[in-house]
Structure formats: C-alpha cells, structure tokens
Structure 1
C-alpha cells in the first residue's frame, strides 16, 4: 500500500507571483537522480494554505530514503519490466539462476546526459553486461514508470484530480547542456506527458526555492545550532551535492521575496557515488577481483545487501569517528574466497595497501579501522571543497557570507566538516532533510515559477552567419564572394553574452537574417555557443555547434524575405522565435538540439 510523509512543517509568507500563469490544479515533481529517484505532489489548495504540505511517496522496500534506486530492467525483447527496488530484486533472482545474459539492466545512467557532448536521439546506453539500448528508450521508460506510479498514488490519496490536470516538473542539474535538457523533455513527451504540461527545474534553484519557503533555517556551527530567518537582500552560494554531480550558483533575495541568480552556475562530476566506488575498491583489494566477479554473478543479492548496509553506515561517518566499523559479510563471500584461494579469509597473511590490523575478520564480520573508512571520503570531499572555493573566489564581488548546502551528499558529516574548514568565515547552512530539498522545491517551482526572476547566461550564444568582409580584420580564409559582394563566412552573430543577467522570459538581441539561397521554402540556421564574451567566429577554440533552427517560409522568395530571429533567455530552457519580415508572421521556431 502506498504511504506518504508530510514534508516540512510551519509556514512562511511568500507572495505568489501573479499575472502570467494559469493556476495549476496539481503539481507533480519527478527528481530523477544519479543514484536514487522519487516524486512528490501537491494540490493547489494546499500550496496556498500551507506551501510545505507536500506528499512524497515512501517506497516500501526503502531503508534509506523516500526514493528508489535509479535502475531499470528490460527483458530480452527490450520491453520494460521494472524500475527501482523491484528491478534490483528481479535481476538478482535472474543472476542466481544464471539467466541474466539476455536481460538489460541499467543503473546510475543519468550521467550519460552530462558526459556526452554529442548527444542525439540515437545515442545508446550500455547495460551492466555491455549490451546496447537506445538511451531515449531507457529514459522514457524510467519517466513513464514514475509518472504512472505517481498517478496511481494520486488516485489513492483521493485528490479528485484527473491525469490531464497534472502539471509535471522534472529536475535537471544546472550544469547540464541545452541538448541534455531537450533530451529530458522529449523523453517525458515520449512517456505520454503533453509538452505544455512539462517544466524543467534546475536542481539548485529548486532547493533554494524550498529553503526560501522554510520559516526558519538551521545553521550548523561548532557545538550549536542557531535558528534565524533568511532576510531580504541576503546573498548566498548554493552548493548542491548529489550522487553524481555538484551544482554551484549564487542567489539574492529581492525586495518582493523573489530570487535572482547573480552568477552563472558551475560544478562538476563529483558526488556520493565516489564514496561507494572507494568501498567497492576496498572489497576488490580484500577479497580479490576474481572472488568479487563470482559474487556479482552468482550472489547478487548478497552483494546488494552489503552495498545497502554500506549506504546506511556511510551516512553516519563523522570526523570524530574512531575505533572500528563492523560490516556483516555474507557466507557467500567467505566461502567463495576459500574456494578460489584454498584458505580462509581470516588466515590471509596480508591485505594489499592496508597495514596489519586495519582490516580484520571474525567469522561473518569484517572490521575496518575508522581511518580507512574516513579515507573513502577524502578525495571527493577535497574535490568538492576545492571547486566550491574556486567558485566562491570567482564571485567575490558579491560578498557572499552564507553557503546553503543541499542534495543527498550534503547530509554527509564528512563533507560538511570539509566545507566548514574550507570556509571558516562563512556561515554554512544545512536545512533539515537536505536530500529532499530539490524534490520539494521542484513542486513549489511548479506552482510559482515566477519566484525565479533572473538567471545568468552560462555561454555566449550566436548564429553562424555571413557579414561584410573587413580586410585586415577578418582572416583571408574567411573571405567568400557571393555575386558582387565580398563576405566573411563563419561569423559568430552573437545573441547573448556569457555571464550576463537575463530576466525570466526576456527577449533579447533581435537580429535579421537573409536566406543564403535565392528561393526555397525552408531556412536552416546553425546555433553555436562559446565560453568567450566576444567570440568572432564559430570555429574558434571552445565554440561548439549546439543545434539547428529550421524555419518554414510561407513566401518562398528567398533574399526578398528576411527572417527575424529572437532568442528568449532567462528560462530553464532556451526558446527561439522567428518572424518573417515580409508576411509579419511570428511563431516559435523548431529548435533542434539533438541533431549535431
């Protein structure tokens, strides 16, 4: 039976930004994480009476959080079978029977969208055995499962809301590319959610918005917890640490209680999964890779039990931790070790890379010295605090005095301690249930998206165009002749500047372009980004093509019918509008970011 938890308590007075948006009867948010995923929902009446009264599903198999593992299973015909804990359990049963060879099992696959700069609709994912499936199929099935599960939960809660009345918010990291965002939108559309019912919410923004609604904040200091409210004019850095990524940005609370982004988001591929990888590395060192290979093939249930136990234990590790951490080791581990090494693990003379006594065995227990366990966190905590410090210094002009830590990995006491030591003069704020802040905030964003009033551009955006050739300025190799006109090709016709602030739905830099062909019913425009403020050409170092704008021309008169292109910045997704000069017709462009 589905169960729910009340998220948050108390109430704060935040105005609902009016004027632009039809009220949404029910908002459902899907937090599609690297390690865990979940959803939450809220009817409009609850949002208006108590914004923090949000319902989140509690997964019956979960002993860790209100989320389920981000893993999915398909059968031999690539048909969806199960998601989350159910997928893990079924796959473990198949492994025990030696029948996994023609099943497709994907885990922690979200990072593909961050890593693949050439992302297309045809991009493939490899499962745990190296079998290929279209990434779009995997993401679509995952979103569809969470969507269908949420609708059933909504019906069980007797909300009286029809599926077509639900507005969906899907969380995405702020450091994702525009193509990755479009990929998620198209996957949601393929999961039978209408595009008009979809919003994408940037994860650190959602968390920041949730904390803005909190009536109080918990400020962790040395041996004390101080309670105080956020104030108008506060500027703070958001450090969103999840399983696979870190997002960092800066917000300022405006006089009308809205939020404005002050600096472009930054971050990287660091997260809690690196701690898991260190533990897995230890298991391989202790038992040997051959033993661990057999364990994962024959005894996946036991392997999963050990990893779930570690997930719980790692949340309790603190800098003050001393002594030994005890791990329950299944019989399959020790018996397999005996079978392959002709000795008991207790009699092993040495364990590579660890001094004697740091790791010991007693029957079904592995005892690991506290220093070894704490060392699992060293590299990733150093990386996160390092990139956070570098970012903090880059935005020093804003005089940031607070850091808001959110995301599941922000609950780690080891990371909290590292961040505090890296910023001794900055107040570090960690809200209750930091790991749920993104999910809760995404629901609030769906009801009140106007709470974010401005964002900072991550790149310079422009269009590949021709311009008049300027001798002595433009490179000779860019010189081309069309008719009796000398032109410069590959010109970066800039529409937005990296680091510049744009208000939500702000339409900027309207420019007119002429079709290169004398006639035709379509015009193709190539869009590029650059890390530079003033790029000149699209083939400069760092510039990259991100997509194409395909424009249908009603009057196929070519150069006699220029087209006005207008970008809309300041939103979570990039939008483009075009207008034919001759006909005056204006429409949203077909902007394809998944055809490189």
Structure 2
C-alpha cells in the first residue's frame, strides 16, 4: 500500500493566478543569443500579424543585436540593440582611444542560462549579473512592444490584454522558464509574477510550427515528420495541422557564433593568443569590426565547402585592427612584420573553422533520427545559421539517404518568432510531447527486510521515489498521471507531496545523484473525509504546454482538495 510522506512543513501559499483579463493581442518574443526580435497579431485578425522591423538606430531589419551598453559602473543602460554596438567601420577607423573594458558592450549573456562550463561562458563584467542583463534587455524590448501596440491598437491595455510568448532553447536547465518569467515580470511584460498572460514554447517547437506553413509545398500528409537545427526535435504532422512530438528535444550551444570564435582562434594562432586576448579587452570595437566586416561579410556567408571554387583570401590585419601591432611581441611580431601584417586564409583553414560546429550539429541530427521509430520525411533548417550554404550542403550530403526532403524554408531567420506567434494564437496546436525527465514524489512505505537497512526510519518506514511519469513517454498535453496514496499513520493530520524529477528512468530514492526537487503540495487531512488510514487520496501530475500542475483529490468523493502549478521541467 502506498502511503503519504509525513511532514510538519508549513502550507504552501503559492497558487497560479487565474487572470480574467480578455486577451486581445499576442506578442511573440524571440530572445536570441546574438539577435532578437518580436512579432504581434490581434486575435481578431491573426492574418495581419507583423514582424517588427523599425529598430532604433538601424535600417529596417527583422532583428536587432542582443546587446547592451552600460555606463562606466554597469548600473544604467545607455543603449541596447544595434545602438549598443559601435558603427564598426566609423568607430574603428576614427577612434585612436582605447576601448576600455568599462565601455565594452555586453553580448551573448543569454548563454549564461545554459549548462556551459563557467570558463566557456561569454564575458560579463563582475559588476553585472546575467539575470540583470536579461531583465534590462527585455525592458528595452517591452518599451518598443508597448509603443508598437499602442500605435496599432490604442484601445488594447498593456500588459493585461496581451499574451506574451517567449521562446526558449530546448536543452537548457530546468529553471530556465522560472528565471525568464521573473525577468519578464521585472521588465514590465507582466503585471504579476504568476500571471497566465505568459506562455513559453521551445525554439525547435516554434520552428516546427512555422514549418506548418510550408508543408503543402512539400506534399506532406498527417503522419510525416519535420526537424529543426541546433535545437532539434522530430515532430509528427497530425490531422487539422496538429503537431505531435515523437522524440526528446535535444540541443547544444553550437550556432554560428562559435564559428566566429574559431576564426578568432585562427587569428590568435598567428599573432599570439595572449596578445589577441589583451587587444580584445582594450579594443573591442576593432575586434567586432574584424569579425563582422571581414569574416562574416567576406567569408562566412559565402563559404560552401567546395575547394574548387575557393580563392585564397588576404586579411590585412591593420586595416581592421590598427592598434594590434602594439600588442604582438617576439617572433610572432617579426613574422607578421615580414608578412606586412597580411594573413592568407586558405580553404582548409576556413573549413576547420566551420567543422567543429557543423559536425556537432550533424551529430545532434543523427541522434534524433536514430531515436525516432518512424521515418522522417522532411527536414527543415531554420534560424540564422540555416543560411550557411556549407551547413546545408553537409546536412544534405550526410542524410540524403535517410530523409527525402532537406531544405531551408522562406525567411529562416524569422522562423522562431513567427512560430511563437502562431503558437500564441493556436495554443492547442501541440497535441503531444515526449517527457525529457521522469517525475514522481517522495513516498513512505513500510520497510521490508532485505531493503537498505540504513534507510529504515525509527517508525519502520522507508522513503522512496515513487515514479508517476517516465522519461521518454509520449504524453498527450494536459493528460494527467495519477496514483492512489494512503496516510502513513492513522493519526496523520497533514501530508506533503514532495515532487521530484530526474533524468533516470529508474530512480529509487529522492537523494539519488541527479534527482532534483521541484515543489511541495501541502494538504491538511482535516479536509479529507473518513478517518484512520482509510483516507485514499488521488495524486495527479498534469503536463500542460510548458507549465504543469500537481493536484490532490479525495478519491472517495472525487472532489479536488488542492492544486499547485509549476514550470515544466522538460
């Protein structure tokens, strides 16, 4: 007989806010690592949805850089988006002053949400916490969103009548949604932290939803699948344009930004890594100019992996980094002076910049195809890196015998934000998901001889992990998993259902390695009819879109006793 865990903890007062506000407008925000954007649509005319392009300080574009410029103490934001970055050519060519670290723009701070090792995470000034940076950036975004909605629909009340959809990576830590919800609230996107005006969807899911708009072009019927890129999932096309997930979502930080890092590593090998690092610290504008104006514009977007079409590129370092020579010393300085500060970049060198990143993406795609028990009919590459000819060629070359149709749909850069908007307008489109974790509670059972002796409590009980939903299970959205539990003692007056999750499919105890606590559902047994141990409680875990709830019911009367909400951990 399963029994309740005993607990004297205080009752939880948290409860999901049930807002009665009438949602009139949906806004999808693609908070990207390097660039971000948003799109909006009125629920009464979703076909008139638009992607914002009028970014301050920039020519019309679908996105603006995910960058911030602070004052010298990193307390106040002085600029964000494209304004936070220098006008590369103008600044790099006209300024002789050191670009001190104090004035350096803050970029790539989204990666601090990831599981990257600390040494691999991008630079942040010691005075600035990455959560503060996220909040500051979303604040700038919120002001533009509010301004744009006011100009389009003056009668819409922001934020009470606006549904915000935030896209998040697939493989990032379980507390990502919790952190992003708090940052969104502090940025003014929500009236209350618990507001149900905020929805989350993963980036590959949003991309898959966007791809629904092109399935007819590829003659796909219900039963076919589509895939993503760096964040990858395989989806099944269901009736009425529904989507089902048939493999666990996977992802890894291996986008085009990491190709830029390989390019700088190549330059560092020529001039000395220490010299380049010190130069980058003091002349960040010139490094940005080198990467954007030379590497991205002249090499990265054109490289197709065909050696016969490659012509050696000559990089005159002093044209982009005029102060660099003051940092290079010893033999490397002599070599560079003899070469006139010109570096010749051959085909093999460029290929070696791309391959570590591209090979990781190929590995992720391969893992997804192996995990699927159904044939994948089409693969769509979306996102900024999807425009890389080399990446597309390598994916086609590697998987041409496994997937019939591999392509890049129209506007791959905006796929995530458009998919996020579609999700907000059609919240029930996603029908099934695959659990990335096993979920359960801590339960007290009678200790039986042969079990771990050291875990036996003074009252003859043993506390174990009672699994309700196993990792890898394909579940219908909002379908509950439930079990019946009874009190551990006849005189028990309260119960605490402690909810845990783990990557293991056979977790045994709640203190096992990799076991993680989520939340506790507290119940006063005075509210449960009958007495003694004959008080069956049905405990349910229900997995919503990206948010879930734990519920307890009187199993005899069928009445709800209590429920709590928590961010989904998968």
Short-chain TM bin: 0.7 to 0.9
Matched, 1:89 2:90: no
Q: Distance in 2 between matches of 1:247 and 1:60?
A: 30
Q: Say if 1:296 and 1:255 are closer, same or farther in 2 by CA, change over 3 A.
A: same
CA distance 1:197–1:495, change in 2 (3 Å): same
Task: Tell me how large the CA RMSD over aligned residues is.
Answer: 3.8
1:168 is aligned to 2:158 = no
Establish whether residue 305 from structure 1 lines up as the match of residue 289 from structure 2: yes
> 1:206, 1:437 within 8 Å by CA — same for their partners in 2?
yes
Counterpart-to-counterpart distance in 2, 1:408 and 1:306: 20
Q: Following superposition of structure 1 onto structure 2, how do residues 545-564 of structure 1 map, counting pairs within 5 Å?
A: 545-551=516-522, 553=524, 555=526, 564=538
- 1:480 corresponding residue in structure 2: 457
The answer to whether structure 1 residue 457 and structure 2 residue 435 are counterparts is: yes
Aligned to 1:537: 509
Alignment length (residue pairs)? 529
In the alignment, structure 1 residue 412 sits paired with structure 2 residue 411: no
Looking at structure 2, the residues matched to 79 and 97 of structure 1 have their Cα atoms a distance apart, in angstroms, of 23
1:229 corresponds to which of 194, 213, 219:
219
| Contact map agreement 2:442 2:499 (CA 8 A) in 1 | yes
Structure 1, unmatched stretches of 5+, are 1-20, 118-122, 218-227, 241-245, 351-359
CA displacement at 1:86 relative to structure 2: 2.1
Could you say what secondary structure the match of 1:574 adopts? strand
Answer 1 or 2: higher relative contact order, Cα 8 Å, separation at least 6: 2
Q: 2:311 aligns with which of 323, 337, 352?
A: 323
269, 273, 280: which one aligns with 1:285: 269
Counterpart secondary structure, 2:349: helix
1:470 aligns with 2:448: yes
- Per the TM alignment, residue 585 of structure 1 is displaced from its structure 2 partner at its CA by 5.1
C-alpha distance after superposition, 1:242-279 (max 9, x if no partner):
xxxx2221111112221111122123232222201101
The answer to whether the 8 A contact 2:208-2:228 is kept is no
Q: By how many angstroms is 1:469 displaced?
A: 2.1
Evaluate the alpha carbon distance shift between residue 326 and residue 26 of structure 1 in structure 2; reply closer, same or farther with a 3 A threshold: farther
Contact 1:524–1:548 (CA<8 Å) still a contact in 2?
Answer: no
Give, in angstroms, the shift of residue 84 of structure 1: 2.1
- Deviation, structure 1 residue 535: 2.8
- Cross-structure match for 1:28: 27
The structure with the greater share of residues assigned to strand is 1
Deviates more, 1:374-383 or 1:566-575: 566-575
How far apart are 1:56 and its partner, in Å?
Answer: 2.4
Cα 1:556–1:442, aligned 2, differ >3 Å: closer, same or farther?
same
TM normalised by structure 2 equals 0.81
Q: What are the residue-to-residue correspondences of 1:164-203 with 2, within 5 Å? A: 164-192=160-188, 193-194=190-191, 195-203=195-203
CA contact (8 A) 2:548 2:565 kept: no
1:508 Cα deviation after fit: 1.7
Q: Tell me, yes or no, if the aligned pair for 2:70 and 2:105 is still in contact at 8 Å.
A: yes
Within 5 Å, give how 1:35-434 maps onto structure 2. Answer: 35-47=34-46, 50=47, 53-59=49-55, 61=57, 66-75=62-71, 76=73, 78-89=75-86, 100=100, 106-115=106-115, 128=123, 130-157=125-152, 160-163=155-158, 164-192=160-188, 193-194=190-191, 195-214=195-214, 216-217=216-217, 228-236=218-226, 238-240=227-229, 246-309=230-293, 310-313=295-298, 314-320=300-306, 321-327=309-315, 329-331=317-319, 333-337=321-325, 340-341=328-329, 348=336, 366-395=343-372, 397-425=373-401, 426=403, 427-434=405-412
Instruction: Give the Cα separation in 2 of the matches to 1:349 and 1:182.
Output: 53
